[in-house]
Amino acid sequence: MADDREKAAYQRLETAVEEVCRLEGYQGVLTEWVVIAASQRYDEDGDGITQVGTLLPSGGGAIPHHRVMGLLDFVQTRMRAMAAADDD
């Protein structure tokens, strides 16, 4: 972790994830989480650049890659099923 500010920010993020899970009705202890974030900017030539990244507990490394990929694959599979079932 780069510095104390970054460590504190990740602690606040984890607290926020725990709070949202509680409000959404999750039960039990939060064991793993992944936040996917995207941002858009423009370079000096006016070309759009999208940055996509993942935020993990403690800045990464706390969850092995195979667990992160499993979480993402599970959610992606569930979202595809929901999209396929959507009549709109």
pLDDT score recorded for residue 18: 97
Instruction: Quote the CA–CA distance of 69 and 84 in Å, as a whole number.
Output: 22
pLDDT score recorded for residue 55: 93
The per-residue pLDDT for range 25-76, each reduced to its tens digit, is: 999 999 899 999 999 999 999 999 999 999 999 888 778 899 999 999 999 9
41-67 in b/e form (b: 16+ CB < 10 A) is: eeeeeeeeeeeeeebbbeeeeebeeee
pLDDT score recorded for residue 1: 54
Q: In sequence order, what E strands does the chain have?
A: 35-42, 48-55
Q: What is the value of pTM for the model shown?
A: 0.78
| Other CB atoms within 10 A of residue 21 CB | 14
